[in-house]
Amino acid sequence: MFNAEDTKKRVGAYAADFIENGMTVGLGTGSTVYWLLQTLGERVQQGLQFSAVPTSRQTQTLATELGITLTELNAVNELVLTIDGADEVDARLQLIKGGGGALLQEKMVAAASKQLIIIVDENKMVDTLGKFPLPVEVIPSGWKQVHRKVMGMGCTKAAIRQKNEQAFITDNGHYILDCYFEQITDPVNLNIALHLVPGVVETGLFNGMADMVITGHSDGRIDTKSR
Ligand SMILES: O=C[C@H](O)[C@H](O)[C@H](O)COP(=O)(O)O
């Protein structure tokens, strides 16, 4: 049996095989992507050449330390693929992302990619999204108005994410409103409705974006599911 960290490590290493010489790719954020980056760093030492758009300062810093060549989203037309983690994945490969607060850049990079590959451990797989609170990135000066509107959309509780007893600030200078919905049965329409609220910058709902989900299991199996 493998523990959760070992499973993330194995799934991250497995996904590294999708990145080939000459590609320009997107690199996601989080503790599973951490292991992808470690493997890619080793491969760069062995001669693999590719360039990458990072989705956060965290990934930018780690990738730089590992010798991975970075570029910017504005410097590319299209990315061959992006590999990223997720907080929840349902049977239709709809996702909740943003547990690390990187949802805005992750969604921009994913939208610029021909293929989005998601790497998770089996604990992230759910029948219906919503056990994990939905991160919604908001403009700080208007968060209370967004909170009021979200509470009228079936949300049972919403709170500004805290770090060190202060509001957590995203890489783009916004707050995260973590929204508890119990069950998100219609993520497509919820995403649209949230985007209509002034002050909402982005939501952690990634609908119809993931092309493949690679799941690591505690018994050592790794399986892939494609849309
Ligand atoms: O903002 C963070 C991202 O959406 C992460 O990809 C997501 O939270 C999953 O991270 P982890 O692999 O650490 O569970």
In this predicted model, what pLDDT tens digit does every residue of 52-81 receive, in sequence order? 999 999 999 999 999 999 999 999 999 999
- The per-residue pLDDT for range 105-145, each reduced to its tens digit, is 999 999 999 999 999 999 999 999 999 999 999 999 999 99
Q: What is the pLDDT of residue 153?
A: 95
Name the residue ranges covered by the structural domains of the chain: 4-126+208-221, 134-203
Q: Which atom of ligand 1 is nearest to the CA of 30?
A: 13
Q: Give the Cα-Cα-Cα angle 80, 76, 25 (nearest 5 degrees).
A: 30
| The length of the chain, given as a count of residues | 227
Tell me the percentage of the chain whose pLDDT exceeds 70. 100
Could you tell me the distance, in angstroms and rounded to a whole number, from the CA of residue 46 to the centre of ligand 1?
A: 28
99-112 burial code (b ≥16 CB/10 A, e <16): bbbbbbbbbebbee
Decide: 84 in ligand 1 pocket, CB within 6 A: yes
First to last CA, the chain: 29
Q: Which atom of ligand 1 is nearest to the CA of 204?
A: 4
In terms of C-beta density within 10 A (0-12 exposed, 13-18 middle, 19 or more buried), how is residue 198 classed? exposed
Instruction: Provide the 10 A C-beta neighbour count for residue 16.
Output: 19
- The per-residue pLDDT for range 80-89, each reduced to its tens digit, is 999 999 999 9
Q: What is the pTM of this model?
A: 0.98
Could you tell me the distance, in angstroms and rounded to a whole number, from the CA of residue 154 to the centre of ligand 1?
A: 24
Q: What is the pLDDT of residue 101?
A: 98
Q: Is 87 annotated as a binding residue?
A: yes
In terms of C-beta density within 10 A (0-12 exposed, 13-18 middle, 19 or more buried), how is residue 116 classed? buried
- CATH code given to domain 4-126+208-221: 3.40.50.1360
Confidence of residue 6 (pLDDT cuts 50, 70, 90): very high
Q: What is the pLDDT of residue 3?
A: 94
Cα 158 to Cα 147: distance, rounded to the nearest angstrom: 7
Decide: 191 in ligand 1 pocket, CB within 6 A: no
Q: What is the pLDDT of residue 31?
A: 98
Identical topology for domains 4-126+208-221 and 134-203: no
Strand order in the sheet with 24-27: 69-70, 51-54, 24-27, 79-84, 113-121, 212-216, 222-226
CATH topology of domain 134-203: Alpha-Beta Plaits (3.30.70)
- Residue 69 in contact with residue 50, Cβ under 8 Å? yes
Q: Which atom of ligand 1 is nearest to the CA of 106?
A: 4
> In angstroms, how far is CA 104 from the centroid of its own chain?
9
Q: What is the pLDDT of residue 113?
A: 98
Q: What is the pLDDT of residue 94?
A: 98
Which residues belong to the active site? 106
Could you tell me the distance, in angstroms and rounded to a whole number, from the CA of residue 83 to the centre of ligand 1?
A: 11
By most ligand atoms within 8 Å of CB, the mutation choice from 31, 57, 62, 87 for ligand 1 is 87
